Every structure is written in structure tokens, then in C-alpha cells.
Amino acid sequence: MIRTYLLLCLVLFILAVPRESVGQGGVLAELNAIDIVVMDLTSFEKRLGLSKEAISNQVLVLLRSKVPRLIVTDTANSVVFIDVSVDAIRTTQDSNFGHYGYVVVSIGRQVTIMETERFGGGFIWLQHAGFNGPQPNLHGNINMALDQLLTAFAAAWYRDNPTK
């Protein structure tokens, strides 16, 4: 429930950002460094063998391979948020037949509100992908979704930073 609420707030915030706030080179222009934040997993997702560390490691490898000029550091003002949600299709109470879920990748940036000189956060890029399949393919499906989304991010980053 809380994930749905956070995702709804995120989408509403993105839609509320005026187009004039986008820089000349696009929303990802001058994005030079980024931090990785994986949202908390449910106890069920952990029982399926998922971990924040493994997801973060996968995202790190994908970012380094797809956008090698983008610095990944925990001191960056921009953040890539990764939200993975998984549920199971059960045939009996004790048996998992398959799984379904989604991955959301969003990029947030620290901004200064000009009128008040206060700092705030704004999301500048968001994409999601759904997946499903038999239980043994869970990790592979999550990795494929992450690969697809981070490839789309890399393409957008290179479009907005053509000289890098």
C-alpha cells in the first residue's frame, strides 16, 4: 500500500514539474554523478532470495557498463531510486507456482527553490517494467527488467549529454 502511495506521489510530482524547468540539453543534461538507493524489500521478497545489496550491485554494474562517464558515488546530489516489487502466484497455500512484479527506476535531483533559497528534491526521469514467469526465473526476470530500464536511461542520458 505504501509503495502504491509513494509511486502515485512520484508520478504526480513528475507531471507537476513545469516544462520551463527543463534545461537546454534535456532533463539529464549535466548529470555527472549519481547515488544508488534501493527501496526496502518486503519480508516475502526477502524470503524469495532478493536483497537490497544484490539489486544495488546489479544496478552498479549496469550503470558502469552502460554509462561509464557517469560517476557513481554516495556523495552525489542526484539519486537513482530502484523499487522492486514481487508477488507469487500460488497453486496451494505452501506452493509457489510463479511470480509477477515490476521494477521502477527513477532519477531524483536536489534542487534549489529560487524564491525561498531552500533545497528540495525533484524527480527528473522515471520508467518502469513489469515481469512474470515461473519461480526459478525470478532473479533473471528482475535482471532483465533492470537491464531494459537502465538501457533506456543510458540512451536518454547520452541524448541529453551528446558531447560526453
CATH of the domain at 34: 3.30.160
1-5, 48-52, 89-93, 160-164: which is most confident:
48-52
Mean pLDDT on 82-105: 85
Q: What domain range is 18 assigned to? A: 2-160
- In the predicted structure, residue 109 carries a pLDDT above the cut 90: no
Question: Could you give the CA distance from residue 160 to residue 154 in angstroms, rounded to a whole number?
Answer: 10
Q: What is the pLDDT of residue 123?
A: 86
- In the predicted structure, residue 19 carries a pLDDT above the cut 90: no
> How many domains does the chain divide into?
1
Q: Please tell me the pTM assigned to this model.
A: 0.78
